[in-house]
Structure 1
Amino acid sequence: MTVTYVIDGSRVTGLERFWEVIGEAVNGPGGYFGRNLDALADCLGGGMGTPDDGDFVFEWRDHALSARALGHEETARQLRRSLERAHPTNRPAIQERLDEALAGRGPTLFDLIVEILAQGATPGTLRLS
C-alpha cells in the first residue's frame, strides 16, 4: 500500500520552515527528515520514516507558494550564510552561486529540493499540485 506524505506548500516560508514541514509530513509533529540538502537525500534512502520498500509518494500541495519562498532571494540568503562558514577554498564557488542568485539566475533551493525528491526516490513519487 502506497503511503502519501503531504507537504503543505502554504506553510513553507523559507528553508528552515521547509525542514519543519517535511519532517512533520513524514514523521509527525517535531519530526525530522533532514536539515540540509545532503541529509534530505540520505533520508530518502530509507530508515528515516519512509517505508523501506520505497512505496511512498510526496504530494507537494501549493508548491508554487513554496517555489516563491524558496526562490532566488532565499537561495541568496542561505548562500551568504554558507559563505561565512565555508573553507577558504570553497568560497569562490559559493560566491559565484551567490552572485547568480542575486541576479535572479541559476537553480533555486526549490529547484534543488525538487531534484533531490525526484531523483532520490522511485520515479513518480513526487507530485506537485
Structure 2
Amino acid sequence: MTVTYVIDGSEVTGPERFWDVIGEAVNGPGGYFGRNLDAFADCLSGGMGTPDDGDFVIEWRDHALSARALGHEETARYLLAVAGRAHASNQERLHAESARAAEGLGPTLFDRLVEIIRERTGPDTLRLL
C-alpha cells in the first residue's frame, strides 16, 4: 500500500521551516528528515521513516508558495550560510553560486529539493499540487 506524505506549502517560509515540515510529514511531530540538502537526500534513500519497499508519494500542496519562499533571494542567503561552514575548498564555489542566486540566476532551493526528490525516488514519487 502506498504511503502519502503531505507537505503543506503554505507552511514553508524558508529552509528551516521546510526541514520541520518534511520531518513532521514523514516521522510525526518533532520528526527528523534532514536539516540540509545532503542529509535530506540521504533520508530519501531509505531507513529514515519511509517504507522499506520505497512505496510512497510526497504530495507537495500549494507548492507555488514554497517555490516563492525558497526562491533566489533565500537561496543566496542559504548558500552564504553554508559557505561559512564549508571546507575551504568549497567556499569559492558556494560564494559564486550565492552571487548568481542574488542576481536571480541558477537553481533555487525549491528547484534543488524537487531535483533531489526525483533523483532519489523516481519521477512519479513527487506530486506538485
Give the corresponding residue for 2:27: 27
Q: Secondary structure at the match of 2:88?
A: coil
Q: Secondary structure at the match of 1:89?
A: helix
Give the corresponding residue for 1:36: 36
Moved over 6 A (4+): none
Give the corresponding residue for 1:51: 51
Give the corresponding residue for 2:107: 107
Using a 3 Å threshold, how does the CA distance of structure 1 residues 50 and 95 change in structure 2: closer, same or farther? Answer: same
* Root mean square deviation, CA, Å: 0.9
- The 2-side partners of 1:104 and 1:27 are apart by 34
Give the corresponding residue for 1:88: 88
Whether the 8 Å CA contact 1:54–1:122 is kept in 2: the answer is no
Give the corresponding residue for 1:118: 118
Letter in 1 for 2:78: Q
**Greater helix content:** 2
Q: Secondary structure at the match of 1:127?
A: strand
Long gaps (5+) in structure 2: none
Alignment TM-score, normalising by the size of structure 1: 0.96
Whether the 8 Å CA contact 1:5–1:59 is kept in 2: the answer is yes
Q: What are the Cα deviations for residues 37-96 of structure 1, in whole angstroms up to 9, with x where unaligned?
A: 111111111111100001000000000000000001110111111222233322221111
Give the corresponding residue for 1:71: 71
- The 2-side partners of 1:50 and 1:86 are apart by 29
% identical aligned pairs: 71
Letter in 2 for 1:30: G
**Counterpart check, 1:2 vs 2:10:** no
Long gaps (5+) in structure 1: none
Letter in 1 for 2:80: R
Query: How many pairs align?
Result: 129
